[in-house]
Amino acid sequence: MVQYMHTRVDASFAALSDPTRRGVLEQLGRSDASITELADKFHMTLTGMKKHVSVLEQAGLVTTQKVGRVRTCRLGESRLEAEAAWLENYRRLWAARFEALEAVVDQLKAEENADGSQDAD
């Protein structure tokens, strides 16, 4: 299970690393679109857009359905929960580290102020 989650998270982040693919997801968040419509919107060839959609589809972020000669794309079943949980773990870790650093800085400032006020007497 853990290995599956990491593989899925890796695929999701790899898919999301490209600005065109993030743009495709934004577009599909507004409405379903054919590969041709997406290629036109992003000023790409059909082959190029098919490759982007394939990466998104492998990550579970997009699904496609072919009716006749038209392949329609829509947002996939993935709700990015595993990815959000992964990010949240690291957000908490960094928040705790920054809080600890802030405590050290506050302590050093307090010691500096105490040393400075003793010299003034």
Please answer whether residues 73 and 28 qualify as being in contact, where contact means their C-beta atoms are separated by less than 8 angstroms: yes
Does the pLDDT at position 81 exceed 50?
Answer: yes
97 and 53 assigned to the same domain = no
37 and 7 assigned to the same domain = yes
Q: Mind listing the pLDDT tens digit for each residue in 20-70?
A: 999 999 999 999 999 999 999 999 999 999 999 999 999 999 999 999 999
120 and 70 assigned to the same domain = no
One-character DSSP codes across 51-89: HHHHHHHHTTSEEEEEETTEEEEEE-S---HHHHHHHHH
Please answer whether residues 86 and 9 qualify as being in contact, where contact means their C-beta atoms are separated by less than 8 angstroms: yes
> How many domains is the chain partitioned into structurally?
2
pLDDT, residue 117, reads 67
42 and 87 assigned to the same domain = no
Query: Taking the model in full, what pTM does it have?
Result: 0.74
11 and 69 assigned to the same domain = yes
pLDDT, residue 1, reads 45
92 and 67 assigned to the same domain = no
Instruction: Output the domain CATH number for residue 71.
Output: 1.10.10.10
69 lies in which domain range?
Answer: 2-75
pLDDT, residue 5, reads 59
pLDDT, residue 120, reads 52
69 and 90 assigned to the same domain = no
Q: Mind listing the pLDDT tens digit for each residue in 3-22?
A: 555 788 899 999 999 999 99
Does the pLDDT at position 89 exceed 60?
Answer: yes
Most distant CA atoms of the chain, gap in Å: 89
64 and 116 assigned to the same domain = no
